[in-house]
Amino acid sequence: MLCHESPRTWNRSESDLVRIVSQQVGLILHQWQLQKQNEQQQKINQTIQWGLTLIQQTHQIDPLEQAALQHISQVLQVPLAMLITWLPGGTVARISSPIITSDRFALNVDAKIPILGDPLIRWTLESDGMLPLTIEDIPAETRKWLHGTSVGQVLAIALRTSPEHEPTGMVVVADGVERHWSERHLSAMGTLASQLAWSRRYLALTQNLSTQRDQLERLELVQTPPP
């Protein structure tokens, strides 16, 4: 915008000059924005790859969940990330490995959450993918344990492996009311959640097989007659 202290007209040369300069400035700003977005995407991709590698190399469930949530929190830059888990066929869920960086995003970490009675869990399991909600969308049943005063936006996804496998957990992140979930952040959360789901399932099956093997070995020792 150009202004003058007194009434005047702009000749064609002046108008052309302003138009050319504005186009050049617009092009420079557009290139700068593309470069900034590209740098942010590269940083996210590096963090995702590092997180996937760490998840794949973790061989115990608790450290696995903690590492995965830590990376999800860092990639999405959220003050609250948590895992809600339950046993196969169970009716009650619990909060696991929460990442909380602000008291205004507090949780009742000891809550016993009824799976069928909690709207957030039920809606997430009914959703095919990512479930974004505002705090106004979340009923009082969920806000009994998700009661941080600054929680404004919530994003949840069930830990699914394949259609025939029932999920036994979900990832939930939260941020302030002004937060907008970008496509690259949604994609990053989906990738990390999927890897976490498969790794949790693999470790759970491995631990179950190891327990069964130990039980069989003890049974053989009991049943084997002395020489």
Domain range list for the chain? 73-203
Q: What angle do CA 107, 113, 119 make, to 5 degrees?
A: 95
Residue 56 has pLDDT above 70, yes or no: no
Residue 36 has pLDDT above 90, yes or no: no
| pLDDT tier at 39, thresholds 50, 70, 90 | low
What integer is the mean pLDDT of 39-48? Answer: 59
Beta-sheet strands, E only, within 110-204: 113-114, 131-134, 153-158, 169-175
What integer is the mean pLDDT of 208-224? Answer: 72
Q: What is the CATH number of domain 73-203?
A: 3.30.450.40
Residue whose structure tokens are 């929190």: 73
Residue 38 has pLDDT above 80, yes or no: no
Contacts of 145 (CB under 8 A, 6+ apart): 95, 107, 108, 111, 113
